[in-house]
């Protein structure tokens, strides 16, 4: 981390120095009392179940000499080389310091959001940009008001651009993140049903996602999947920023005209600047063509040529538990256990449906935060599973509606079964699995579907 001094922190957080030297330098920032150092700043956050102010003494014992605190907490150390800064809210101060730090780097920032596919889209953009630029990207699920600032603190002088994922569950959250980053380019992958319980409708979700353009001017670019029925409405609006679109429909700036899937990935052709170009991505599923097109347009916006972009896409690798295809001596496992929504469920079922010579088993868990759409959303997935799955196993509470949706479409009742727990699913699988089965596992993060993946990985017939 590039050094910042305490006076900068005070100015940007509207804080005040309680003790210490305002010219002291900070060379690292941590919210974990176990990972601090002498030249670092410890920021004690307050969560629903904890208050990290309780761990200030631990941070001190671990060598930390500079501390943030909120106005409702007091602590003192009998040492002249300790610095204590008081702020109104330590979590907000974390974002304020990230904004300060980000301004020290005159590089291009790309922000990525969407109801589904934002992480894969971010990773594909990273594959493209990192082929030519030293690029920082969001790791894991560090895409909220805490994770995004921590990602920014990883910026170094050698970085030439940064790709930052922005997640949200309510209004105002992406606006907050956008005010920290002030990115040049934003990408929205789609508008689905994720978090609809909090946002009321897909129109509400669109409004929340568009907070990513809060500070945009004519010098900024929004890249969207304009095959999405909600995002495509932007084409008919007067915008104060540039809009670039991708999809399969021919009225997009970049559109796919043909594709072919095989075991190693997808060959596809796109029209780019009125020229047909051939691309390959080492990933399965038609939805990944959308993700790749987002990456192609981002690369073009940041000055890469088509050959550089093609080379970058070849380096893409799916993230853990995101349509990760695992081959054992017994089964082929499609591990998509990271999270779930109706759109991502359908994308995963499409991949399962590509297997023509094997028995196809889908093990599907609850999709959480669906609110009043829980029953209809799960039934929609069940309808889509017909033709893509030979045996449907559901687990949880609302996922029972998946089986109902399948049966409404004529799916044989004896080939759909519901369980309340992953343990019950595993016990059932021990009695019915056959060699060379292809098994899809998918559910929301809270369902811990990886427990079933781990069983399948080790199970032998």
pTM (2 d.p.): 0.87
Q: What is the pLDDT of residues 219-228, one digit of tens each?
A: 999 999 999 9
CA 350 from centroid of its chain's CA atoms: 21
First to last CA, the chain: 51
Below-70 pLDDT ranges, the chain: none
Tokens of 289: 């063509």
Domains, the chain:
4-88 (3.40.1390.10), 105-313 (3.40.1190.10), 324-458 (3.90.190.20)
* Rounded Cα–Cα distance for residues 303 and 108 (Å): 11
Q: Are 196 and 370 in contact (CB under 8 A)?
A: yes
* Rounded Cα–Cα distance for residues 104 and 99 (Å): 9
Binding residue positions for ATP:
114-120
Q: What is the pLDDT of residues 28-85, one digit of tens each?
A: 999 999 999 999 999 999 998 899 999 999 999 999 999 999 999 998 887 888 999 9
Collapsing DSSP to helix, strand or coil, 258 comes out as strand
Say what the pLDDT of residue 250 is: 95
* Rounded Cα–Cα distance for residues 348 and 326 (Å): 14
What is the torsional sign of CA 434, 436, 437, 442? positive
Say what the pLDDT of residue 344 is: 93
* Rounded Cα–Cα distance for residues 256 and 278 (Å): 10
Distances (CA, A) of 268 to 191, 228, 262, 356, 407: 24, 20, 11, 21, 35
Tokens of 421: 């727990």
Distances (CA, A) of 216 to 175, 213, 294, 405: 12, 5, 19, 43
* Rounded Cα–Cα distance for residues 299 and 293 (Å): 10
* Rounded Cα–Cα distance for residues 300 and 273 (Å): 10
Say what the pLDDT of residue 299 is: 98
Collapsing DSSP to helix, strand or coil, 279 comes out as strand
Strands 185-188 and 108-113: parallel
Say what the pLDDT of residue 369 is: 86
* Rounded Cα–Cα distance for residues 213 and 132 (Å): 26
Say what the pLDDT of residue 77 is: 84
């Amino acid at each position: 981390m590039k050094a910042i001094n305490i006076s900068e922190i005070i100015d940007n957080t509207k804080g005040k120095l309680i003790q210490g030297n305002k010219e002291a330098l900070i060379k690292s920032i941590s919210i974990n009392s176990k990972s601090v150092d002498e030249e670092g700043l410890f920021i004690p956050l307050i969560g629903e179940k904890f208050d990290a102010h309780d761990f200030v003494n631990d941070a001190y014992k671990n060598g930390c000499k500079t501390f943030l605190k909120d106005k409702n907490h007091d602590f003192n150390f009998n040492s002249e080389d300790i610095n204590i800064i008081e702020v109104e809210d330590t979590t907000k101060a974390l974002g304020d310091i990230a904004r300060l730090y980000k301004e020290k780097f005159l590089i291009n920032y790309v922000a990525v959001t969407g109801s589904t596919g934002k992480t894969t889209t971010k990773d594909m953009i990273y594959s493209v940009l990192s082929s030519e630029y030293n690029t920082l990207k969001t790791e894991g699920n560090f895409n909220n008001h805490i994770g995004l600032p921590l990602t920014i603190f990883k910026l170094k002088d050698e970085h030439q651009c940064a790709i930052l994922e922005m997640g949200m569950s309510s209004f105002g959250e992406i606006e907050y993140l956008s005010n920290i980053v002030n990115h040049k380019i934003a990408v929205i992958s789609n508008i689905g049903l994720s978090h609809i319980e909090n946002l009321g409708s897909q129109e509400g979700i669109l409004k929340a996602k568009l907070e990513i353009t809060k500070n945009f001017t004519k010098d900024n670019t929004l890249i969207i999947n304009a095959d999405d029925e909600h995002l495509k409405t932007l084409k008919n609006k007067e915008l104060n920023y540039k809009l670039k679109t991708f999809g399969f429909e021919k009225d997009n700036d970049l559109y796919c005209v043909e594709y072919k899937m095989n075991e190693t990935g997808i060959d596809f052709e796109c029209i780019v600047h009125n020229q047909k170009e051939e691309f390959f991505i080492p990933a399965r599923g038609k939805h990944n063509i959308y993700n790749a097109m987002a990456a192609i347009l981002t690369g073009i916006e940041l000055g890469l040529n088509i050959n550089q972009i093609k080379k970058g896409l070849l380096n893409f690798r799916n993230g853990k538990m995101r349509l990760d295809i695992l081959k054992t001596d017994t089964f082929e496992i499609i591990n998509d256990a990271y999270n779930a929504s109706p759109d991502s469920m359908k994308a995963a079922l499409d991949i399962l449906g590509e297997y023509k010579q094997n028995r196809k088993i889908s093990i599907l868990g609850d999709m959480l935060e669906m609110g009043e759409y829980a029953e209809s959303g799960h039934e929609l997935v069940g309808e889509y599973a017909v033709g893509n799955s030979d045996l449907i196993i559901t687990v949880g509470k609302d996922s029972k509606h998946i089986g109902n949706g399948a049966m409404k479409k004529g799916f044989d009742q004896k080939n759909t079964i519901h369980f309340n727990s992953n343990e019950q699913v595993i016990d059932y699988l021990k009695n019915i699995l056959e060699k060379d089965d292809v098994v899809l596992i998918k559910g929301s993060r809270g369902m811990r579907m990886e427990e079933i993946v781990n069983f399948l990985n080790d199970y032998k017939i």
